[in-house]
Amino acid sequence: MAIRQIRTVEDEVLRKKCRPVEEVNDQIRQLLDDMAETMYHTENGAGLAAPQVGILKRLVVLDMGDGLIKLVNPVIISQEGSQEVIEGCLSIPGVAGRLIRPAKVTVEALNEKGEKVRYIGTGELAKCFCHELDHLDGVLFTDKVTEYIHL
């Protein structure tokens, strides 16, 4: 495993749309492991999307305290309600803001074995899913902020 460099807001890779993963193989599993190690190496990292380490593939890792989740080609298939949240981002250090996210989301993806998985997230987990999946389409949380918060 390796700790990768996290790209920051000035890097144009963060604004690009990621390509689907065609095959879940050892290279993809290694990249997911590297992303997880990178996320755990950062302070306050709860999730990381592949473009944040300069890779334009639809890959996400996250851990909200209940264990590591690795997602390949994740898609939000349903969402319910709304919640006001406060977010920050490893790619935009020192910035936080309020925004509206769904209160509940259902995500379908492949796991690191290539098996179809489904997660239902509410509250903070729903927020994290939305934040990380936005990265896969070149969307940053700052695009949705209703009010900035000074740290």
User: Hey, which residues are catalytic here?
Assistant: 132
DSSP H helices in 1-151: 26-41, 123-135
Distance between CA atoms of residues 44 and 23, nearest Å: 31
Cβ-contact 48, 90 below 8 angstroms = yes
Distance CA 32, CA 66 (A): 18
DSSP per residue, 61-78: EE-SSS--EEEEEEEEEE
